[in-house]
Structure 1
Amino acid sequence: MGREKKRGTSGATKNYLTRSQAVRKLQISLADFRRLCIFKGIYPREPRSKKRVSKSSTPSTTFYYAKDIQYLLHEPLLNKFRDQKALAKKISKALGRNEVSDASRLERNLKPRMRLDHIIKERYPTFVDALRDLDDALSMLFLFANLPSTAEVPANIIAKCQRLTLEFEHYLIRTHSLRKSFLSIKGIYYQATIQGQDILWLVPYRFVQRTGADVDYRIMATFVEFYTTLLGFVNFRLYTSIGLVYPPTFDLKSEEQGAELGAFQLEAQNGEEQQPADNEVDAETNEKAQAEADRLLSLPAEPQRDEEEQAEADVEDIEANQASALDQFASIDEKADTLLQPSATADSATAGKLFETFTVFLSRETPRHSLEFILKAFGCKRVGWDSSLGEPGAYCAEDDKRITHQIVDRPDLPLPSPPLTDGETDMDVDEVDGVVTKRANERVPGRIYVQPQWVWDSINAGQLQRPDLYAPGATLPPHLSPWVKPKKGDYDPTLSLAAQETAAEAEMEDEEDIVDEGSGGEEVEGVRGDGEAREMEEELDKEEDGGMDVNLAGSEDESEGEVEVSGGADADEDDEWGGISGDEAEDVGDSAARQAQAELEAEALGKAPVQAGTTEKEKRKREREVAQAKRAREEREQQEQVERQKMMMPRRKRKVYEKMVYSNARKDEEAEKLRAKRRKIERGGAAKS
């Protein structure tokens, strides 16, 4: 007879440990256990049966793998936690004896310093692994960089997060690695491609943040401690990969004056080249560029080539452009899904030239930091703003003549006023030391004014958008997410309603138009009937006032005493019908022939014949009824065919098919609701216009 197994020694019970068992085994507090699990990347597990795994009558709620807890027994941070616990006991004893100076000395000199470098190397063996796990790290650090300083979030943590995030943004600006961005309710989404890895993170808007009491900042501070170490390693690797010294030179004075990105100065590793701040243009660089341009202008002109040589050169240029252009994939079947096209922003060289030739000025009401970061990441080297927002980083003033684009987020700006004549004065003109500045809230001639959304839509599309669509005060186009591609049958805001609505929706829209037309016609007829009634009342009034109008006959052809009575009962002879004239007979015959021809054509096309005297409204109604009957018949036949095919399916596949049909119907309903909402908005706009 075999030996009886003891409960809890094998199987699923041995593979799992509860949180209380893990804490007792590691001999640390619950708070330290949580920190250690966050640092090591160990998370609770959900067993298949909690009752079978639990060793007590009451099933526990949190379980961990026994191998993970065994792995934590060899962690060097356990000794640091024990040293902190011993130090806390010494400090509490000193405070109990009222020895405050000794307690502060112990905390200052004996506090253990924890380093997470070995954990970073363990969790991320390669650099690509660290890049893949960088999304959450960037979102958390950008969040803490925008938080106010409180007791839960000290100022040194905020400053560290700001420095690390700005260093990362400088790398993206230098390498033009930023690809897409999107303005959402939560904040601003950014996507960058670094060494083939797509990194997506969220940056909150720079509003006044209010920290809530229901947030556990201890857990978040533990994540921040780990993420700051991770991002420091990543920044070091990124900077050294492009030949820059890490950490870059940081000017604290410029940062205090609001420079932000301008407070960093990148330096090459060889020490020969000094990279100036990206928002400043080096004078030596401009001189070299001007000297090179002068040298090219001084060169003799090339001899004129023959027509054949010129044609061959043009053909070569066209072939080169076609080779460098992106391939466009066209779908063979019109009913198939749209094929994904290659993105125009997939190349860093293309991204670095999008705003390269522009000089942009940012108004005070615009989000300066995000616009500065995006513009510089896509090639713009000359970004200016008002000096009150931070003078060290400003490239130019608002009245600078070199500005090509100004980004504003205010109502429509008026055009410049005509010049004043002699003797006129303008109260809006400011004159300082004899220099007349431009009027307030007035456009500068030769400068393009756009709203901030123009920048985001341009980088997402990979090309510059039309500035007139984003003019100040204009109704902006829909700002769509660059990561959501509409599928077949879904609502697409970029297409018109006629291009995506179904046949039933189109017929329903036609019916609504007919109803609107009919209601308008009834109103017109009602107005016309009231006018005729008023005319009849006026005639009756005239008859009551003056009686019958009698006109005496004064001609020789008429007999004496013969009178012409208008409106009397004796005028029956004038009202008698005298038959159909020749022209009227020809018209009646032609109309009968046209009616017969129309009936023959309708019968040949399979449509119901239109009866004589039918109005256009009745014709359209009849055609709509025929189309609806035809569509209902086709849908019924298709449904019957589907039911026959479902009968041949196995039960499992039939259930899967029914779930798929249900989900597709829900999607179609949502798309139909969105199209109906858009149709209502367009009708309202057309009615107002």
Structure 2
Amino acid sequence: MGKIKKKGTSGNAKNYITRSQAVRKLQISLQDFRRLCIFKGIYPREPRSKKRASKSSTPSTTFYYTKDIQYLLHEPLLNKFRDQKALAKKISKALGRNEVSDAARLERNLTPRIRLDHIIKERYPTFVDALRDLDDALSMLFLFANLPSTSEVPAKTIAKCQRLTLEFEHYLIRTHTLRKSFLSIKGIYYQATIQGQDILWLVPYKFVQRTAGDIDFRIMGTFVDFYTTLLGFINFRLYTGIGLVYPPRLDAQSEEQGAELAAFHLEGQADGKEEVIAGEIMDTDTNAKAQAEADKMLALSGPDTEDVEREVIQKAEETNASTALDQFASLDPSADALLQPSSTADAESAGQLFEAFTFFLSRETPRHPLEFILKSFGCKRVGWDTSLGEPGAYCPEDDKRITHQVVDRPDIPLPSPPLTDGEADEDAAPTRTSNHRVPGRIYVQPQWIWDTINAGQLQRPDLYAPGATLPPHLSPWVKPKKGDYDPTLSLADQATAGEEEEASDDEAEADEALEAAGDGEEVEGVRGDDEAREVEEELEADEGMDVELAASDDSEDDEDAAPGAADDDWDGLSDDEGEAPETDHATREAREHQLELEAEAKGQIIKTSDEGEKKKQARQAKKDVRTRAEREAEEDVERRKMMMSRRKRKMFEKMVYSNARKDEETEKLRGKRRKIEKGGAKA
């Protein structure tokens, strides 16, 4: 007889452990257990059978791997947590004896300092592993950098998050590794490529944030503690990798005045020479070249703004021509589409995109995102209104070296022409208001900058002029597949054959209804015809035209008879009832001929019933052909499904159902666009 196994010593019962058992085994509180799991990256697991994994009759809800909890037994942070618990007891006893000074002294001198350096090295053996896990860290730190200070979120934590995020942005500016950005409802998405790793994070808009009471900031604060340590390590590695001293020197006075990026001064490790990235000094040769371009734009400034825009675009295209990627065209139109090289700019081309320009940001535009993006793509000279923060601004609004001004207000008119010599006042000084354009300067809306960096090349500035209807701002990470709705293409390029036929049928029916309803409308080109007007006058004088329906001698006698004679002589059907169809056909032809003559005289267009019937029959024939082809295709699919196994048939039906739902959604989107375009055309 074999040995009887004891319950809970093998299988799932041994591999899994409940949360209450783990807390008792580690001898810490539940709050410290949560913090420790977040730091170490240990999360709950879901066993296949909770009943088998549980050692009690009631299945528990939260399970962990037993090996993970065994691994936590040797964590040095456990001693720190126990020291904190012992210190909390001492402080509570001192406060109970009303010894406030002793409690403050204990808290000040004996509070253990928790360091997470060893955990960072354990979880991320290589630097690439840390970069891969940077998405959530940046999103969380940028979120806390924009929160107001409260009792749950201390000001010290917010200041630390702001400093680390600004340091990371400075690295992106220096290396030109920012690639894409997108404006969404949640905030601004950014994507950077560092050492071959794509990092995507979300930055909220700078609105007044209201923290709700149902948010557990203790757990979020634990993540922030870990992420600040992680980003500090990454910033140190990034700065030292390009030869800069970390941490960069921070000017506290400029920071208090709202300098943000300009408050940091970067220093090189080799010679200790200071380089102010966010200020006026950068590279002497590059700055001199850019200043020469600005001076050239100043010489070209004048009342003809279109010539200036054309000169700027041509110069930028010549600059980016060397880094343009080749496009591969297929010789066979029926072959598969060739993969094109990515249009994402590399570091060199990204550093030259806005290098030749001088930007000024109006006070209604978001200063920090625009400054960060412009400097990340090569712009060295960015000015803004002093109300947004005086430190760091390159130039005022009336500076003549400005080539582009970013505005987000209605259309800005050109300034009024100067007064003549007789009207001019000698004592009056020339004044300029902020709601007038400066000749020789290009005015664009902020979306122009985002669309330019996503496309990797300068976009047409006239499409983003103040007050203009902007093009759709699409996500650079969503690429429409074949059959999906693509806002960048016209309806003729992406609509299916069935949709086009249905749309044409609807248009034809609508036109017929309009023609039937608007019988009295006039046609252009015939309205002023003299001959038509003469015929119309003759028709009005004769009160219409009479057409003989039957050539007989008795018609004149019937006309001369009294009006009531027809009723008195009526005695059933006539003897010529066999000729009724021919008479009806002749009557219809005569009526149509009469209507055509009247329409030609009045300048109208009228369609006969035969033409309408022919068109309806043609449309119905096309529908019948398409329906027959679809029916044959469905029968073929059903025959193939009969040869499948039950499992594959279910998978196929699920795939067909999901594809049909997607097609319905795309058809709805294209239908909405078709209605919008029709409404715009009518307007």
For 1:84 and 1:215, locate their aligned partners in 2 and report how far apart those are by CA, in whole Å: 25
Q: CA deviation at 1:684?
A: 1.3
For 2:323 and 2:158, locate their aligned partners in 1 and report how far apart those are by CA, in whole Å: 45
Aligned to 1:584: none
Q: CA deviation at 1:336?
A: 7.3
Helix, strand or coil for the counterpart of 2:140?
Answer: helix
Residue type at the aligned position of 2:632: E
Aligned to 1:451: 445
Q: CA deviation at 1:195?
A: 0.2
For 1:405 and 1:291, locate their aligned partners in 2 and report how far apart those are by CA, in whole Å: 14
Aligned to 1:260: 260
Helix, strand or coil for the counterpart of 1:240?
Answer: helix
For 1:505 and 1:328, locate their aligned partners in 2 and report how far apart those are by CA, in whole Å: 32
Aligned to 1:558: none
Aligned to 1:10: 10
Q: CA deviation at 1:45?
A: 0.2
Q: Does 1:178 align with 2:178?
A: yes
Aligned to 1:474: 468
Equivalent runs, 1:577-588 vs 2, <5 Å = none
Residue type at the aligned position of 2:403: T
Could you list the per-position Cα deviations for residues 537-565 of structure 1 after superposition, in whole angstroms to 9, with x for gaps in the alignment? Answer: 97599xxxxxxxxxxxxxxxxxxxxxxxx
For the structure 1 residues 494 and 212, does the alpha-carbon distance in structure 2 shift closer, same or farther, using more than 3 Å as the test? same
Q: Does 1:503 align with 2:503?
A: no
For 2:4 and 2:31, locate their aligned partners in 1 and report how far apart those are by CA, in whole Å: 40
Aligned to 1:60: 60
Q: Does 1:94 align with 2:94?
A: yes
Residue type at the aligned position of 2:491: L
Q: CA deviation at 1:508?
A: 1.7
Contact 1:240–1:246 (CA under 8 A) maintained in structure 2: yes
Q: TM-score when scaled to structure 2?
A: 0.81
Aligned to 1:436: 430
Residue type at the aligned position of 1:413: I
In structure 1, the gaps of 5 or more residues are 294-320, 542-567, 571-611
Q: Does 1:668 align with 2:663?
A: yes
Q: CA deviation at 1:273?
A: 2.9
Aligned to 2:392: 393
Q: CA deviation at 1:9?
A: 0.9
Aligned to 1:659: 654
Out of 13-22 and 620-629, give the one that drifted further: 620-629
Equivalent runs, 1:261-660 vs 2, <5 Å = 261-281=261-281, 325-330=324-329, 338-422=337-421, 435-526=429-520, 617-660=612-655
Contact 2:381–2:394 (CA under 8 A) maintained in structure 1: yes
Helix, strand or coil for the counterpart of 2:359?
Answer: strand
Q: CA deviation at 1:388?
A: 1.5
For 1:361 and 1:268, locate their aligned partners in 2 and report how far apart those are by CA, in whole Å: 29
Helix, strand or coil for the counterpart of 1:169?
Answer: helix
Residue type at the aligned position of 1:518: E
Out of 130-139 and 49-58, give the one that drifted further: 49-58
Residue type at the aligned position of 2:354: F
Could you list the per-position Cα deviations for residues 89-126 of structure 1 after superposition, in whole angstroms to 9, with x for gaps in the alignment? Answer: 00000000011111000000000001000000000000
Contact 1:279–1:383 (CA under 8 A) maintained in structure 2: no
Equivalent runs, 1:83-162 vs 2, <5 Å = 83-162=83-162
Helix, strand or coil for the counterpart of 2:202?
Answer: strand
Aligned to 1:228: 228
Residue type at the aligned position of 1:477: P
For 1:373 and 1:25, locate their aligned partners in 2 and report how far apart those are by CA, in whole Å: 50
Residue type at the aligned position of 2:202: L
Contact 1:416–1:444 (CA under 8 A) maintained in structure 2: yes
Helix, strand or coil for the counterpart of 1:436?
Answer: coil
For 2:657 and 2:291, locate their aligned partners in 1 and report how far apart those are by CA, in whole Å: 70
Could you list the per-position Cα deviations for residues 245-299 of structure 1 after superposition, in whole angstroms to 9, with x for gaps in the alignment? Answer: 0001110100111110000111100134321233314696689769999xxxxxx
For 1:157 and 1:204, locate their aligned partners in 2 and report how far apart those are by CA, in whole Å: 17
Contact 2:13–2:55 (CA under 8 A) maintained in structure 1: yes
Equivalent runs, 1:64-79 vs 2, <5 Å = 64-79=64-79
Aligned to 2:566: none
For the structure 1 residues 423 and 155, does the alpha-carbon distance in structure 2 shift closer, same or farther, using more than 3 Å as the test? farther
Helix, strand or coil for the counterpart of 1:228?
Answer: helix
Contact 2:290–2:357 (CA under 8 A) maintained in structure 1: no
Aligned pairs, how many?
Answer: 587
Could you list the per-position Cα deviations for residues 624-644 of structure 1 after superposition, in whole angstroms to 9, with x for gaps in the alignment? Answer: 222211111111111111111
For the structure 1 residues 192 and 78, does the alpha-carbon distance in structure 2 shift closer, same or farther, using more than 3 Å as the test? same
Q: CA deviation at 1:527?
A: 6.1
Could you list the per-position Cα deviations for residues 215-234 of structure 1 after superposition, in whole angstroms to 9, with x for gaps in the alignment? Answer: 00000000000000000000
Out of 243-252 and 516-525, give the one that drifted further: 516-525
For the structure 1 residues 288 and 475, does the alpha-carbon distance in structure 2 shift closer, same or farther, using more than 3 Å as the test? closer
For the structure 1 residues 290 and 141, does the alpha-carbon distance in structure 2 shift closer, same or farther, using more than 3 Å as the test? closer
Q: CA deviation at 1:438?
A: 1.2
For the structure 1 residues 539 and 322, does the alpha-carbon distance in structure 2 shift closer, same or farther, using more than 3 Å as the test? closer
Could you list the per-position Cα deviations for residues 6-31 of structure 1 after superposition, in whole angstroms to 9, with x for gaps in the alignment? Answer: 11011110110000000000000000
Could you list the per-position Cα deviations for residues 299-329 of structure 1 after superposition, in whole angstroms to 9, with x for gaps in the alignment? Answer: xxxxxxxxxxxxxxxxxxxxxx999652434
Contact 2:323–2:349 (CA under 8 A) maintained in structure 1: no
Q: Percent identity?
A: 75
Helix, strand or coil for the counterpart of 2:207?
Answer: coil
Could you list the per-position Cα deviations for residues 649-675 of structure 1 after superposition, in whole angstroms to 9, with x for gaps in the alignment? Answer: 222222211111111111100000100
Contact 2:275–2:281 (CA under 8 A) maintained in structure 1: no
Helix, strand or coil for the counterpart of 2:396?
Answer: coil
For the structure 1 residues 160 and 520, does the alpha-carbon distance in structure 2 shift closer, same or farther, using more than 3 Å as the test? same
For the structure 1 residues 653 and 190, does the alpha-carbon distance in structure 2 shift closer, same or farther, using more than 3 Å as the test? same
Aligned to 1:588: none
Contact 1:337–1:487 (CA under 8 A) maintained in structure 2: no
Q: Does 1:205 align with 2:229?
A: no
Aligned to 1:557: none
Contact 1:469–1:477 (CA under 8 A) maintained in structure 2: yes
Helix, strand or coil for the counterpart of 1:486?
Answer: coil
For 2:9 and 2:436, locate their aligned partners in 1 and report how far apart those are by CA, in whole Å: 83
For the structure 1 residues 434 and 226, does the alpha-carbon distance in structure 2 shift closer, same or farther, using more than 3 Å as the test? farther
Helix, strand or coil for the counterpart of 2:519?
Answer: helix
Residue type at the aligned position of 2:463: L
Aligned to 1:249: 249
Contact 2:362–2:405 (CA under 8 A) maintained in structure 1: yes
Contact 2:356–2:379 (CA under 8 A) maintained in structure 1: yes
Aligned to 2:49: 49
For 1:482 and 1:441, locate their aligned partners in 2 and report how far apart those are by CA, in whole Å: 34
Could you list the per-position Cα deviations for residues 562-587 of structure 1 after superposition, in whole angstroms to 9, with x for gaps in the alignment? Answer: xxxxxx989xxxxxxxxxxxxxxxxx
Helix, strand or coil for the counterpart of 1:392?
Answer: coil
For the structure 1 residues 12 and 372, does the alpha-carbon distance in structure 2 shift closer, same or farther, using more than 3 Å as the test? same
Q: CA deviation at 1:536?
A: 11
Contact 1:386–1:397 (CA under 8 A) maintained in structure 2: yes
For 1:324 and 1:408, locate their aligned partners in 2 and report how far apart those are by CA, in whole Å: 30
Q: TM-score when scaled to structure 1?
A: 0.81
Contact 1:179–1:191 (CA under 8 A) maintained in structure 2: yes
Could you list the per-position Cα deviations for residues 334-360 of structure 1 after superposition, in whole angstroms to 9, with x for gaps in the alignment? Answer: 577755432222411011111110101
Contact 1:646–1:654 (CA under 8 A) maintained in structure 2: yes
Aligned to 1:681: 676
For 1:283 and 1:180, locate their aligned partners in 2 and report how far apart those are by CA, in whole Å: 25
For 2:242 and 2:466, locate their aligned partners in 1 and report how far apart those are by CA, in whole Å: 40
Helix, strand or coil for the counterpart of 1:182?
Answer: strand
For 1:286 and 1:342, locate their aligned partners in 2 and report how far apart those are by CA, in whole Å: 29
Aligned to 1:597: none
For 1:283 and 1:484, locate their aligned partners in 2 and report how far apart those are by CA, in whole Å: 37
Q: CA deviation at 1:187?
A: 0.5
For the structure 1 residues 680 and 456, does the alpha-carbon distance in structure 2 shift closer, same or farther, using more than 3 Å as the test? same
